Amino acid sequence: MSNTEEIEHLQCLIIGSGPAGYTAAIYAARADLHPVIYTGIVPGGQLTQTTDVDNFPGYPQGITGPVMMEDLKAQAERFGTQVRFGYATEVDFSTDGGIHKIQIDGSKWVTADTVIIATGATAKWLGLPSEEKYNGFGVSACAVCDGFFFKGQDVAIVGAGDTAAEEATYLAKLCRKVYMLVRRDEFRASKAMVHRVQNTANIEVLYNTETEEILGDERGVNAVRVKNNKTLQESVLDVTGFFVAIGHKPNTELFQNSLDMDETGYLLTKPDSTATNIQGVFACGDVQDHVYRQAITAAGTGCMAALEAERYLAGRDD
């Protein structure tokens, strides 16, 4: 950091612009913390990559993910939040309750009394061109968000962990038939979850099965071509929905040397709190939640983070 450049100082810096970041901004702005949000590479976060959001309270007719994020942005700006396109590239957190330093876009540094991390998580995908082509048109990485659109239809879900098992049983309640595509000859999920899957009549587990291609037309997905990796036999499953549940990756590389995280990279927060191991640094949304991962829970923890930042500053000034 150069000594000659003038460094902007903020009371509250928010990194990430999904429902957690914007909700934190709304609360922080209303508490006169003059928050600045750096949006990250995907302004609006994961919801801008989905279509309809039908489960966020307050939208009786549903809303599209991108419109909802524009609404949240406008609401945060209404109270004076500065929303800036840019992403944090380096952090130098104070370990003694002092000022935190954050580098933006690899060049400019800002300092902040409080930092709210809302960088989210990224769903893992298979990496097939057809998966990208039909994303939002029958392909989804969130059964709880999108399962409803496939009521009474046949769907497939890929994955064999707890998420896939949980989402398969969720889908089984809505859909006529659920094919579960497991690449090995066994699950990774816990025994209890596997029992639930095996005891659900309309889930058919296809072991040693890999996805070759998702098929469809202008109306969206209508089938999936799969291959048994033992027999090499290919088959086509007639499904209108294809769910990918092979894990998420929290966006936390930046904090690897400064914040406590679990073995898969999710930030650890104190119980019933968004406080991290560093004073004045809070984490909210999917970056610290591998269990619920919903827009509404992200928004809830965003609210908590702003309230805790405000209380931290008030306590420091006493």
- Would you tell me which residues interact with ligand NDP (CB under 6 A)? 126, 158-164, 166, 183-184, 188, 246-247, 290-291
For ligand NDP, give the closer residue by CB, 139 or 158.
Answer: 158
**175 noted as active-site residue:** no
Of the residues 12, 52, 113, 145, which is catalytic?
A: 145
Q: Is 317 a catalytic residue?
A: no
From the candidates 146, 162, 286, 289, give the one annotated as an active-site residue. 146
CB of 143 to ligand NDP, least distance (A): 11
- Closest residue to ligand NDP using C-beta atoms: 161
Round to whole Å and give the CA distance between 177 and 311: 50
At residue 168's C-alpha, the angle toward residues 188 and 295, to 5°, is 100
Complex with ligand NDP: residue 211 or 240, whichever CB lies closer: 211
52 is catalytic: no
Q: How many Cα neighbours within 13 Å face the side chain of 138?
A: 24
Distance CA 76, CA 99 (A): 24
Where in 4-119 does DSSP place strands (E)? Answer: 8-15, 36-38, 52-53, 63-64, 82-84, 88-92, 100-104, 108-117
Of 151 and 184, CB closest to ligand NDP: 184
Cα(303)–Cα(26) distance, integer angstroms: 8
Half-sphere exposure of 216 (CA within 13 A, CB side): 21
Residue 110 or 178: the one with the smaller Cβ distance to ligand NDP is: 178
CA separation for the pair 58, 61 (Å, rounded): 9
Catalytic residues: 142, 145-146
